[in-house]
Amino acid sequence: MDALEQEAPKQHYTDKQKQQVFDGEFMPHINAMYNFGYRLTFDEDDANDLVQDTYLKAFRFIESFQQGTNAKAWLFRILKNSFINDYRKKKKEPAKVDYQEVETFYNSEDVDRQITPDLRVESLQDMMGDEISNALNSLDVDFRTVIILCDLEGFKYDEMAKILDIPIGTVRSRLHRARNLLKEKLSEYAKKMGYKNHTL
Amino acid sequence: MSHQSPPSAGNQPTCMEMLQAILDGAATPEQETQFKEHMEGCMPCYKEYSLEMVIKELIKTKCCGQCAPPELVDRIKSSISEKAS
């Protein structure tokens, strides 16, 4: 939790103020937090534990939070750290993105290519929600996370950089790669659905 | 103008870079306008934009259904009340 404590000058809240901050600024994000926890772990019990742990940490370190600042980003950051430090270690999840590969990709000519010539708007519109959700879930956790933060939660580059503890350039390149991987996956689904003879 | 060439001279971003900025919510209103004007005459950009926007919209509508169980909310609230008292 060092990072949390270092973030802002320590605030001094009365017990009543702490409760007000908690109820008024933290609790309104509980559904987004749970959805994030669930999409990281794919397990309701694990998501419950992760969210509960996050909220208890948030309360414990509430004096590191400055009232009126971005509570949602602060909470997402705690949850992400809990996921990496506690959950992943517990589950011994080995998956980790090769960041060098990501950077190499972004710096290559490939950045401008259109990689999904056989994916059409029409085929996407015919998909049920499951395919979209499954495609997102199939991405490596680091790619999945940036899509969730950007497209579902509407975080900006600088907020995502803080939540993930990575430079803004890496956020941008990871998002770019994640979108391409998602399209590749959707393209596979579309082919299975019988759109393989169509071209964009 | 090719869809992959810079929309104007100088160090302007390419179309695909502008499209990414729009998708990421990082484009300025001017960049958005510039891209949309360009898209009117560029079918590859129009198709890529349409595809990406549909995917983004589908993620928004189909991947946010997990609400926190009421028991979790109650458990957190009672833990905090205990700590606060």
ipTM for this model: 0.84
Contacts of A184 (CB under 8 A, 6+ apart): A115, A116
Angle between helices B43-62 and A129-138 (to 10 degrees): 90
pLDDT tens per residue, range B27-84? 999 999 999 999 999 999 999 999 999 999 989 988 877 789 999 999 999 999 887 7
- Minimum-distance CB partner of B76 among A35, A39, A55: A55
Is the CB of B79 inside 8 Å of chain A's CB atoms? yes
For residue B6, the model assigns a pLDDT of 45
pLDDT tens per residue, range A165-194? 999 999 999 999 999 999 999 988 888 877
- pTM of the predicted structure, to 2 decimals: 0.83
A68 contacts A17 by C-beta, under 8 angstroms: no
CA separation for the pair A77, A159 (Å, rounded)? 10
Q: Do A56 and B51 touch (CB under 8 A)?
A: no
Summarize the confidence of residues A63-70 as an average pLDDT: 91
Percentage of the residues of chain A whose pLDDT score is greater than 70: 78
Residue A2 in tokens = 């060092």
B interface test, pick of A60, A113, A114, A128 with most B CB neighbours within 10 Å: A114
Q: Is the pLDDT of residue B1 over 60?
A: no
Q: Do A186 and B4 touch (CB under 8 A)?
A: no
A91 contacts B20 by C-beta, under 8 angstroms: no
Residue B82 in tokens = 């205990």
Q: Is the pLDDT of residue A1 over 70?
A: no
Q: What are the angstrom distances between the C-alpha of A67 and each of A31, A137, B50?
A: 21, 34, 40
DSSP state of B27: -
Closest CA to A116 of A192, A181, A193, A176: A181
Q: Do B16 and A112 touch (CB under 8 A)?
A: yes
A interface test, pick of B74, B77, B80 with most A CB neighbours within 10 Å: B80
Angle between helices A44-60 and A30-41 (to 10 degrees): 130
**pLDDT-derived band at A45, boundaries 50, 70, 90:** very high
Q: Do A124 and B66 touch (CB under 8 A)?
A: no
Q: Do B23 and A154 touch (CB under 8 A)?
A: no
Instruction: Give how far B60 is from chain A: nearest CA, Å.
Output: 5
Q: Is the pLDDT of residue A104 over 50?
A: yes
A47 contacts in B (CB within 8 Å)?
Answer: 66
Summarize the confidence of residues A69-93 as an average pLDDT: 87
For residue A8, the model assigns a pLDDT of 66
Size of interface A-B (CB pairs under 8 A): 118
Q: Do A31 and B4 touch (CB under 8 A)?
A: no
Q: Is the pLDDT of residue A75 over 80?
A: yes
Residue of chain A minimizing CA distance to B25:
A156
Report which of residues B11 and A193 the model is more confident about.
A193
**pLDDT-derived band at A109, boundaries 50, 70, 90:** very low
Q: Could you give phi then psi for residue A179, rounded to 5 degrees?
A: -65, -40
Q: Is the pLDDT of residue B12 over 70?
A: no
Residue-wise over A94-108: b if at least 16 C-beta within 10 A, else e? eeeeeeeebeeebee
A interface test, pick of B15, B58, B73 with most A CB neighbours within 10 Å: B58
Is the CB of B72 inside 8 Å of chain A's CB atoms? yes
pLDDT tens per residue, range A111-170? 445 555 567 777 777 776 688 899 999 999 999 999 999 999 999 999 999 999 999 999
Average pLDDT, chain A: 83
Write the DSSP assignment of chain A as a string of letters. Answer: -HHHHHHSPPP---HHHHHHHIIIIIGGGHHHHHHHHHHHHS-HHHHHHHHHHHHHHHHHTGGGSPTTS-HHHHHHHHHHHHIIIIIHHHHT------HHHHHHHHHSGGGG----TT--HHHHHTS-HHHHHHHHHHS-HHHHHHHIIIIIT---HHHHHHHHTS-HHHHHHHHHHHHHHHHHHHHHHHIIIIITT---
Residue of chain B minimizing CA distance to A125:
B54
Q: Do A182 and B55 touch (CB under 8 A)?
A: yes
